Structure 1
Amino acid sequence: MRRTASARLLTGTALAVALAGPTAVGAAPAYGNGGGTLEVYPATVTPGTQVTVNTTACGAGGTAAGDASAVGAGTFVLAPGTHKEVAVGQFRVPPGAQPGTYEIVARCDGHGNGDEDGHGRQVSGDLVVTLTSTRPPAHPPAHPRGSVKTGVGGALGPDPVQTAAGVAALAVAAAGGTWLLHRRARGDRI
């Protein structure tokens, strides 16, 4: 990756996070070289993730040939999307992809509405593959609550009076048992 593209990527990511808050992490566009941008979403993925790529560089109704062979996903097609002048394509990162930063490329082929604006224009963006997900879990982890019904019961309960009474009963029993054992050891009859 060239130093200018890296600086643009870092600046764009920092600006997106600052403006949109924590939900923008991993969703910032990756900027290509001159003449337009190639947005990669999500920009940071784990192997097996589906990635969406879009660009406005090809003009209204334009199409493009995408190349994700750097990450092992091969070629894909960008076709006109639901928004005006946006070409959209998708590919899946292979399950065996190694961690690293990969350049994803799209070349406009000029098959728009008679518009040759973007013909031959190439845009690129970066895709970062990691082994751990950067997205927060869909559901926060659940912590166990309550008690387990084992049939044995428990010495400690939610009521402090009952807890104190149980501790006192155990202390009296321990003292009485010790006194009896002491008397027996001396040979005293009960």
Structure 2
Amino acid sequence: MRRTARLVTGTALAVAAAGLAAAPAYGGAAGSLEVYPSTVVPGGDVTVNTSACGADGTAAGDASAVGAGSFTLAPSAHEEDLIGQFRVPPSAQPGTYEIVAKCAGGRQVTGDLMVTLTSTREQIHPRGHVKTGVGGTLGPDPVQTAAGVAALAVAAAGGTWLLHRRARGDGI
């Protein structure tokens, strides 16, 4: 039993050591190009950043897939991050595009940008009531309602009286 436990433990340690040796020296998200916002409408501004190039590096960005051309990534206020910006052209078609940044050391990182025709921002709904003179969604004004009802009653009575005179032949 003891020999089997040593064999299993030794094998597990060997596998773990091999995994660590093959792991990259940088963190998980450090090898990617972050695109913000990840979904944009044509004509919108996009910011990209990465920490894959190191603290004192620069990178050349390429957004020609979406029609924006090249841009430069420069060191930012955050440690070891490079940041760059570009504008999606108004003529861009909806779809997903690959944005590429090539570090000065030759390393290349990519990120995806989705172009849509509708904004992902929350829509603004109207609030309040409509001023029609008869009332609104917040409650009717009793004075205006009474005046409207009185005007309709006078018009109906006058129209009935004129039609009655005409039917009798009295004329107008």
TM-score by length of 1: 0.58
1:129 paired to 2:115: yes
The match for 1:13 is none
Alpha-carbon separation, structure 2, partners of 1:177 and 1:95: 60
RMSD: 3.2
* Alpha-carbon offset, residue 135 of structure 1: 1.7
Alpha-carbon separation, structure 1, partners of 2:67 and 2:162: 81
Structure 1 pair 180–99 and aligned structure 2 pair: CA distance change class (3 A) = closer
The match for 1:59 is 54
* Alpha-carbon offset, residue 48 of structure 1: 1.3
Structure 1 pair 85–147 and aligned structure 2 pair: CA distance change class (3 A) = same
Alpha-carbon separation, structure 2, partners of 1:124 and 1:175: 79
Counterpart of 1:44 (choices 39, 42, 45) is: 39
Tell me the amino acid that sits aligned with residue 130 of structure 1: T
Which 10-residue stretch deviates more, 179-188 or 62-71? 179-188
Give runs of ≥4 in structure 1 deviating > 2 Å: 140-148, 156-188
Within 5 A, what are the aligned runs for 1:132-171? Answer: 132-136=118-122, 140-143=124-127, 145=129, 147=131, 156=134, 158-160=140-142, 163=145, 167=149, 171=153
The match for 1:80 is 75
Structure 1 counterpart SS, 2:100: strand
Where does the alignment leave 5 or more consecutive residues of structure 1 unmatched? Answer: 1-33, 110-118, 149-153
| Residues 35 and 121 in structure 1, CA contact (< 8 A), matched pair in contact too | no
| Residues 61 and 86 in structure 1, CA contact (< 8 A), matched pair in contact too | no
Identity of paired residues, percent?
Answer: 75
